[in-house]
Amino acid sequence: MLRRLVHVGARELSRAQSSTATAEKWDLYAGVLVERLPVVSKALNPLEKQFQDLLWRVEYENSLKSNHELKHEREIVQAELIKQGKIQVDLEDGGSKQTAQDLKDAYVEELKKFQLGSRTTPDDQANKTTSTDRCLEETLYLLVQQKLGQQEHLILPQGKRQEGESMRQTAERVLRERCGQELQVLFYGNAPVGFHKYKYPSNQRTESVGAKVFFYRASLRSGQVPEKVTKFEWLPKEALNGKLTNAAYAESIKKFLL
């Protein structure tokens, strides 16, 4: 019995040692979600427009009269008194005086000339996905073409962590290397907002079995990715699924999109 227990214990120890020796090693990667925030507010739907009109009407009914309105009312009373002969008009001053009604007429004429800016741009019409001057109501996300294994994929910019770097420093370096120096962004913090991992093909594994990618969020401040650096696209949220060909990767990205 004792001999049997010793044998079982030795076997379990050997199994544990073997498991430790073959423990999986993962490469650490940093990815960057670069977003171009909306340039204009979204157009109101019919219900929102109706509610906005209601709020404006309530605000107008509860508001105090402006100086222009008070001046206009005084001038109406003054004109009536002049008509009745109760006050005299200084003819020298009366001809050069600009009344509140004159100002209102001038403002109305100026308003008629005003045209609202278009919510669409020439790049919208041309469907130029490399431009940030499009989809002004939406948030656009940057995808770049990178080689994963033997194939090219459109993904969020990512790269392997180097010795001595923090993950945030890796994210900043990766963005410079993948997207050039012209792209200026603001990182939101030192903590990642998302995570994804994947295993390398069996025939491509050396020291590591796969990659663990930690994603950081950043917003576009200025600049653009030079077209000579890499192939890239700026896409709204609903268009990402058509470009992210790996379903698991797309699902991981979807979790931290706003």
SS3 content of the chain, % helix, strand, coil (to 5): 40, 20, 35
21 has pLDDT over 50: no
This prediction's pTM:
0.77
Query: 24-53 pLDDT, tens per residue?
Result: 899 999 999 999 999 999 999 999 999 999
Query: 165-195 pLDDT, tens per residue?
Result: 999 999 999 999 999 999 999 999 999 999 9
* DSSP β-bridge partners for residue 31: 158, 215
Cα–Cα distance measured from residue 97 to residue 85, given in angstroms and rounded to the nearest whole number: 20
Query: 209-248 pLDDT, tens per residue?
Result: 999 999 999 999 999 999 888 899 999 999 998 899 899 9
Can you give the length of the chain in residues?
Answer: 258
The DSSP symbol for 155 reads E
Cα–Cα distance measured from residue 183 to residue 133, given in angstroms and rounded to the nearest whole number: 15
Instruction: From residue 194, give the alpha-carbon distance in Å to each of 108, 246, 254.
Output: 53, 16, 9
Query: 56-75 pLDDT, tens per residue?
Result: 999 999 999 999 999 999 98
Residue 9: what pLDDT?
39
Residue 32: what pLDDT?
97
Cα–Cα distance measured from residue 121 to residue 127, given in angstroms and rounded to the nearest whole number: 10
Taken in order of first residue, the domains within the chain and their CATH numbers are: 26-39+121-255 (3.90.79.10), 48-88+100-113 (no CATH)
Query: 72-129 pLDDT, tens per residue?
Result: 999 899 888 888 887 776 655 555 578 888 999 999 999 999 998 899 999 999 999 9
